[in-house]
Structure 1
């Protein structure tokens, strides 16, 4: 497609053109979407035993309905419910990918919708992956259009921008016409929702499930004949205007269809909020044992202060959103990449509480959102400093190696090998969903 020019910018029209038109994805974007698919599936499989997953699975099974799509842990339910369950389950561990352009988790909103409808419609794996890539790119663009004020006001971009991405992926699989796609995005404007107030609770992964489910629902309804305001995303009383959007048109649409922002996706190698990772990577280079630490001062971008700075969490979920807790865990030798490290028992460790209280978190506007600066004071008076930026280049081969190791640790080497081989060769979709 042709990228819109500054004098012809129209958000909905440009997004519809992108979502329904011919797509030529870069080789890197195609590689990254396969890696993110593997990462998403592994997070979903590993998240099956989380409480939120059990609640939603129980609801899905008790309601019954057409066996259209597979849910993590096995079993088939209606596509809309599968998207809800799989979205929440894959985000339950908070171990899935992040895109820092808008601070959202594209995979957990878009993949569940694409897989659910892909199964229902009998789509091929390449068709599904193309639709998911389009949806995730679109969610990033909508997130940029909404801007930081939307996020800072308390809206969860994974759920809000993500719902539009899920709609685009689902609508593409349903082969919606441009007018239908516009109406589906407009209808999504009524359904997209999610608050940062849920962070640290089961409500956060539920937000991801809501986004995925909404994408399946609105696209399917429009395909069946339901009509809606096709401009409700960017109309005067539309989603952006009523949800503190900044309407960053040039930023959101620059290079759309030619430049793939999804290539900049960041994958997690610690099982906690991505806002904590730069500090963890920085502190890891200092090699300080807990008894030696007199004081640890972490400087981070102010935006993270309301996201992952819980001071004294008492649950594993809360620990995933606490600088002081995860840094104390790391200093005590607990593996921050291991799921079992995050628990109420860990939060209650006397030695962790004592160390946690010697850690200070300070906002610093001069730092990028992907950056952290750490100052450590040892008991012998020696001072150490370290800095890390998550946007530092990592080669695709290095990323693949780290992700394959992460996935093997989550679901086993054999399962990882089967999935990765299938995603690379384009096996029938059932061979992928059978691993759920």
Structure 2
């Protein structure tokens, strides 16, 4: 590697020199919460329609028995395919956490979903590392690899020009590949040179475009990021070459995919502070884009406060700026995948059910006559007033007009539920896990997961997670 301090060299040094003892205090507490949340959404996501064709594809390939996919402890696959399954499941419901931006001009909440790529990569490698070393991967080792990948991904996402996302790249797929690579490199114990080459390999794999939002391919971006990270680390380990300044060197990733970036914003701040701690991470209360959550809560709270029933609603108007309305693609949703990108559906679910969780995100409910009828009463409008307030917060306003002509209004809370300013409690997070695990794991098994994760750094064998989360997922995909 060059002696010049590049972002790649700073990251490789961080990956290879940061010890397990760096994960302590609030950072450790938050890492456990992110792991539990990631396991929850992967478990629930493994039931989603897109997982069946992905599973059928994976099962046709065969290969070395290196790692288990989440929810299918009876199957052992090549590690990169185990990562592909778990990562895709984790983003299948768009319920995984969200990184907060901190740099100037970065759209609030529009950086990446930081947990799933490194978590899926780490889970996929616990068996292989145990096979090769003759001893299990400890919980502390697992958490260290996960948190390392989380931090690397967040810092690269902060460094890249925000135009990367605005032009149509899906950051969780593109930058997620680097997060997964960092976690995999840490799990495998790569040295600095190998890690730099792994990052270089990942730079040529990084992909994902927003045109595929609302289809099975959107969660595939995150699965592919995890797969690419594992592949890059394994290839670098056996000698495959790559540019060792592939992030901010000439023709590096920041230059061509932004275009441009500001590596100097983060080059000396990797782990100082950890992004997981400051500015923090949002753990989602709803399985849709984080930009929709304040509006959904405003709808929920307004109906509860005013005693409004679904049959009372004549119309709903959501006013917001372009940062909130821009990613929303579907006026009326007819599938659960479209529903994640349709304010009409998201607000209709709140209006009809008072909630919006795993049970509401089904094709049957989204396309039901009652859902379509309510969606048709809901409109959105661009508000220049809200746009002029800036993008440092997720701002919107809900107006409900009832059948008697009364207009009820509420602004979305800037400190939305799930954000670091208004986080879900541990009990609420366990409730989210239970929602995802419903019909898959018994209450006793769910409690065993909680007990294990809340003290994960003390566990002797992190692979126990595979047994605890097993529901024979790959046996359900069909021929």
Q: Normalising by structure 1, what TM-score?
A: 0.92
Give the counterpart of 1:16 among 12, 15, 32: 12
Cα distance change, pair 336–22 in 1 and its aligned pair in 2 (3 A): same
Mapped partners of 1:387, 1:65: distance in 2: 50
The aligned runs of 1:128-139 (5 Å cut-off) are: 128-139=142-153
Deviation, structure 1 residue 130: 0.5
Residue 104 of structure 1: aligned partner: 112
Give the counterpart of 1:394 among 418, 422, 433: 422
Residue 355 of structure 2: aligned partner: 335
Mapped partners of 2:177, 2:333: distance in 1: 30
Deviation, structure 1 residue 134: 0.8
Give the counterpart of 1:382 among 407, 415, 428: 407
Residue 273 of structure 1: aligned partner: 289
With CA pairs under 8 Å and 6+ residues apart, which has the higher RCO, 1 or 2?
2
Unaligned runs of 5+ in 2: 102-109, 131-136, 470-479
The aligned runs of 1:269-348 (5 Å cut-off) are: 269-287=285-303, 288-333=308-353, 335-337=355-357, 339-348=358-367
Mapped partners of 1:219, 1:301: distance in 2: 41
CA contact (8 A) 2:344 2:379 kept: yes
Residue 52 of structure 2: aligned partner: 54
Cα distance change, pair 230–43 in 1 and its aligned pair in 2 (3 A): same
Residue 405 of structure 1: aligned partner: 431
Counterpart check, 1:349 vs 2:368: yes
The aligned runs of 1:161-240 (5 Å cut-off) are: 161-240=175-254
Deviation, structure 1 residue 46: 1.8
Deviation, structure 1 residue 352: 3.2
Deviations 1:357-398 (A, max 9, x none): 332323442253652322314233333222222346236xx5
Mapped partners of 1:353, 1:56: distance in 2: 29
State the superposition RMSD in angstroms.
2.0
Mapped partners of 2:270, 2:368: distance in 1: 50
Give the counterpart of 1:119 among 114, 127, 131: 127
Cα distance change, pair 323–109 in 1 and its aligned pair in 2 (3 A): same
CA contact (8 A) 2:161 2:254 kept: no
Partner-residue secondary structure (3-state), 1:340: coil
Mapped partners of 1:354, 1:279: distance in 2: 20
CA contact (8 A) 1:298 1:372 kept: no
Counterpart check, 1:428 vs 2:461: yes
Deviation, structure 1 residue 43: 1.7
Cα distance change, pair 392–27 in 1 and its aligned pair in 2 (3 A): closer
Partner-residue secondary structure (3-state), 1:76: coil
Counterpart check, 1:359 vs 2:355: no
Cα distance change, pair 12–324 in 1 and its aligned pair in 2 (3 A): same
Deviation, structure 1 residue 251: 2.9
Deviation, structure 1 residue 68: 1.2
Cα distance change, pair 377–137 in 1 and its aligned pair in 2 (3 A): same
Mapped partners of 2:220, 2:140: distance in 1: 28
**134-143 or 340-349, larger mean C-alpha shift:** 340-349
Partner-residue secondary structure (3-state), 1:253: coil
Matched length: 426
Deviation, structure 1 residue 104: 1.2
More helix by share: 1
Residue 5 of structure 1: aligned partner: none
Mapped partners of 1:345, 1:180: distance in 2: 49
Deviation, structure 1 residue 348: 3.0
Deviation, structure 1 residue 334: 5.1
Cα distance change, pair 345–370 in 1 and its aligned pair in 2 (3 A): farther
Mapped partners of 2:331, 2:299: distance in 1: 18
Mapped partners of 1:244, 1:17: distance in 2: 24
